[in-house]
Amino acid sequence: MHDGPDPTDAAAVHRHLHSHLPSDPALRVKALESLAVEKGLVAQETLDAWIRLYDEEVGPKRGAHVVARAWTEPAFHARLLTDAAAAVREMGCHGHATGHLKAVENTATVHNLVVCTLCSCYPFALLGMSPVWYRSNAYRARAVREPRAVLAEFGVTLPEDCGVRIWDSTAELRYLVVPQRPAGTEGWDADRLAALVTRDSMIGTQRDLGPV
């Protein structure tokens, strides 16, 4: 018999405590943020404003509202497919990332997939920060060679009569996939439709957007 704590109980407590801690990268970012504020390099209010901007505006919500408007306004839909850069400027989206933009539309017989084989060019003003997998060498190489296999790994299985078009994004030309409007959403307004649109669907690694 020993007087100390049960090792099993101690291990369980340790796991419980650490399960509530942020990841190491998050801790490092928080430490840098705190140091920058403490040294007077940036104001906390400025950091909070940038976080709100990327979370609530620059993130995929902007792109989702572009898609929802295209679903509900035929005239805007036509302008988006003809000159996407001009169309998104109508909605207040400006900047280099959207200055050279092409919209490509999914149909029953065509699925579009965007990749940047050279680096990770991406319309971040519409879609927010690019996901880690989009920047990975594996995705950049395999999306071009075996797109159906890559899509299957994202849960997208295309019928044989549906072709895949690969669009190689560059600094001079970036792409926005306009997914198909889900069935059963007739009569929905643009805000409700925008809630269905995901970042991955606007890259092309998601296809079906069922109503929720």
Tell me if 53 is assigned to some domain. Answer: no
Q: What is the pLDDT, as a whole number, of residue 34?
A: 83
pLDDT at 19 over 60: no
Return the higher-pLDDT residue of 92 and 99.
92
Tell me the whole-structure pTM to 2 decimals: 0.76
> Which residues have a catalytic role annotated?
116, 119-121
- For residues 20 and 71, state if they share a domain: no
- For residues 37 and 117, state if they share a domain: no
Three-class SS of 153-201 = HCCCCCCCCCEEEEEECCCCCEEEEECCCCCCCCCCCHHHHHCCCCHHH
The count of structural domains within the chain is 2
Q: Which domain holds residue 31?
A: 8-42
